[in-house]
A and B are shown apart, each in its own frame.
Chain A
Amino acid sequence: MESTMSQPKTTDELLRLLEDEHTFVTLEGSDPLESEMVINMGPSHPATHGVLRIVLKMNGETITRAIPELGYLHRAMEKLAENKSYHEFMPYTDRLDYMMPYSNNVALCLAVEKAAAIEVPERAQWIRTMMCEMARISSHLLWLGTMIMDTGALTVFLHTFRERERIYDIFDLLTGARFTVSHSRIGGLASDISPETIQAIKTFIKQFPAHVQSWEKLLNRNKIFLQRTAGIGYIDGPTATGIGLTGPNLRASGVNWDLRKTHPYLKYTDVNFDVPLSNEGDSLARYEVRMKEFYESVRIVEQCLDKLTTPGPVRADYAKQVYPWKSEVYHTMEGLIHDFMLTDWGVCPEKGQVYQAIESSKGELGFFIQSDGTGHPWRLKIRSPSFVNLQSLPILLEGSQMADTVVIIGSLDPVMGEADK
């Protein structure tokens, strides 16, 4: 008997045809097994890294469509900024990407300093550069721990959190706070770095590369880890550029773009470092790029430490725009007046608009300021990398398996505090 092709319309028909050994059953255009379904993932799923919700359309185990949805925090960061002075807004930036608050402070300060044309002393710039890299290490540590946990392993998570604790201790020594540091000031820093802090940083970066090597030893040849990340969540360079990816996510697709090199700020022109790249464009490539960035950050920190041997001012001496030191406020009438004036009116950049971005651990973090000449920004827009990076999720997810979702989200390293600002 010859074989026949058949497309059943109902479940009954399907079951009947399956009993006939001479009939090939095809399921194109119909779904009698109801294998297609829509799944809601999040907004409080433990692997969505915060309040991210993704609506997934599945065909069996395969994702055919993915729609990410934001909008559960309603923090109104930009509205708050319009109603505060530039200084008052500083602590809010800590809470954007709370994985690396130090860099967020610096990014806002750089934008205001550009708008108001304030020169920052050299020493402050070196300290900022160094601590931005410490913040990058801290952020990548959290990403590494959680992403590896998303692939099913817990050990590395515990190791990275131990190292993060050490970085918190360093931030505590420098700023007086472990998490939300608010250490940058418009025109400089809240305090100079102490010899004790410098020693703590030296000890940390001496030991740290060995830890990274041990994690690489644990992961780079781990069959389960490789199978869960290689070829998973692929995006090519032109697509990644078009959808707005920045940071390690873009560089893992072979696009050599790093604001520290292309639009240098702080002291990045005076330090030697390489920009790690990969052409693979998958989750494993994003992992490799970030792992290499650990070593580059250590290199930058080492060079900054060499520059911090000579003392110097860490805050611009410009009473109309930069807060005086507390010792001046308490002991001089001028200091007290200037403190009052700055608190009342704040920094008043001349009318105009500026955009200043930094290369944060997630990508391009930029602050756009439209000034009307008063002490409050008329408009302050935050270009947060997590927000734009998440837009690539449909591209990365479609065609993947259900179980890949958490790995792909993890490999993107989103922070919802920043995306859902």
Chain B
Amino acid sequence: MTFEQAMDAFRTAFSGSILREETHRGELTFYFKKTDVPAVCRYLRDQTGFNFITDCLGTDRFTDEERYEVIYHLRNLTQAWFLRLVTRVDESDLTCPTVSDIWPAANWMEREVFDMYGVTFTGHPDLRRMYMPQDFEYYPLRKEFPLIGIEGSIPLPSGGH
């Protein structure tokens, strides 16, 4: 099966879920509804051989609607295929289904998205902050978080010099 054939089968199987697709610099990206995340990912792993998740990351579009994006970079290690999936998360419902049960590597990647943007992954086995302290109340990669940080947000050790 070629990459085009595999993608055609994917388009047919999820014609109701795929919102749009684009190709930029030779990279194919599918945008789809977040409720379909588990079904889409499971299909791609089992039917299309995308057995490796390279990355799962968040972005902040800084818009009123569908503010955040969760992006998945997938690879098929047998055929050397690469595919990008994007799903959008609205600020009013900051949740997204986890894919850590499909690709265990997504565990830390989703924790990082949660840590940086505050998106909660439902069904995640161990959703804790990744880099920031557990009681840190801000999400540093959101666009409104200032580059110099927020004064007093991480108390420094007192005393000494």
Residues of A at under 8 Å CB distance from B? Answer: 70-71, 74, 76, 78-80, 83, 114-115, 117, 241-244, 255, 257, 262-263, 352-355, 357, 364, 366, 368, 370, 378-379, 381, 383, 387-388, 391, 420
Residue of B nearest to A353 (CB): B24
CA distance A353 to B24 in the complex (A): 7
A366 and B55 contact, CB distance less than 8 A: yes
Give Cα A354 to B26, complex, Å. Answer: 9
Q: Is residue B130 within 8 Å, beta carbon to beta carbon, of the partner chain? A: yes
Q: Say yes or no: B57 contacts A71, CB within 8 Å.
A: no
Q: Which of B9-17, B34-42, B101-109 contacts A (4 or more CB under 8 A)?
A: B101-109
Q: Which of A114, A244, A381, A420 contacts B53 (CB 8 A)?
A: A244
Known A78-B141, A368-B57; judge A242-B25 contact (CB<8 A).
Answer: no
Do A114 and B25 touch across chains, with their CB atoms under 8 A apart?
A: yes
Nearest CB of A to B60, in Å: 8
Q: Which residues of B contact A74 (CB under 8 A)?
A: 131-132, 154
User: Among residues 70 to 106 in chain B, which have CB atoms less than 8 Å away from a CB atom of chain A?
Assistant: 71, 73, 77, 80, 82, 84, 103-105
User: Chain A interface secondary structure, helix, strand, loop or mixed?
Assistant: mixed
Number of residues in B with C-beta < 8 Å to the partner? 36
A242 and B147 contact, Cβ closer than 8 Å, known pairs A70-B131, A381-B57, A383-B55: no
| Bound Cα distance from A378 to B52, whole angstroms | 26
Q: What's the Cα separation between A364 and B109 when bound, in Å?
A: 15
Contact B25 A70 (CB under 8 A): no
Q: Which residue of B lies closest to A245 (CB)?
A: B105
Judging by beta carbons under 8 Å apart, are B140 and A71 in contact?
no
In the complex, what distance in Å separates the CA atom of A80 from the CA atom of B141? 10
Give the shortest distance, in Å, between B72 (CB) and chain A (any CB): 11
B101-143 vs A, Cβ < 8 Å mask (1 yes, 0 no): 0011101110000001000000000000111110000001100
A-B contact pairs, 25 of them (CB 8 A): A74-B154, A76-B140, A78-B141, A79-B145, A80-B147, A114-B25, A241-B51, A241-B52, A242-B51, A243-B105, A244-B105, A263-B82, A352-B22, A353-B84, A354-B27, A355-B73, A366-B55, A366-B73, A368-B55, A368-B71, A368-B73, A381-B55, A381-B57, A388-B108, A391-B105
Rounded to whole angstroms, the CA-CA distance of A355 and B72 in the bound complex is 11
Contacts of A117 in B (CB 8 A): 25
Assuming the contacts A243-B105, A263-B82, A379-B59, asked whether A255 and B77 have C-beta atoms less than 8 A apart, the reply is yes
Which residues of A lie under 8 Å from residue B103 when comparing CB positions?
242, 244
Contact residues in A for B24 (Cβ distance below 8 Å): 352-354
Residues of B contacting A383 with CB < 8 Å? 54-55, 73
**In the complex the two chains form, is B59's CB within 8 Å of A388's CB?**
no
Give B26-74 interface residues, CB cut-off 8 Å to A. Answer: 27, 29, 51-55, 57, 59-60, 71, 73
Contact A391 B108 (CB under 8 A): yes
Q: A355-B84, A388-B105 are in contact. Are A71 and B27 (CB under 8 A)?
A: no
Apart from the given pairs A353-B71, A354-B27, 9 other A-B contacts in the complex at a CB distance below 8 Å = A117-B25, A242-B105, A352-B25, A354-B24, A354-B25, A366-B54, A366-B55, A381-B57, A388-B109
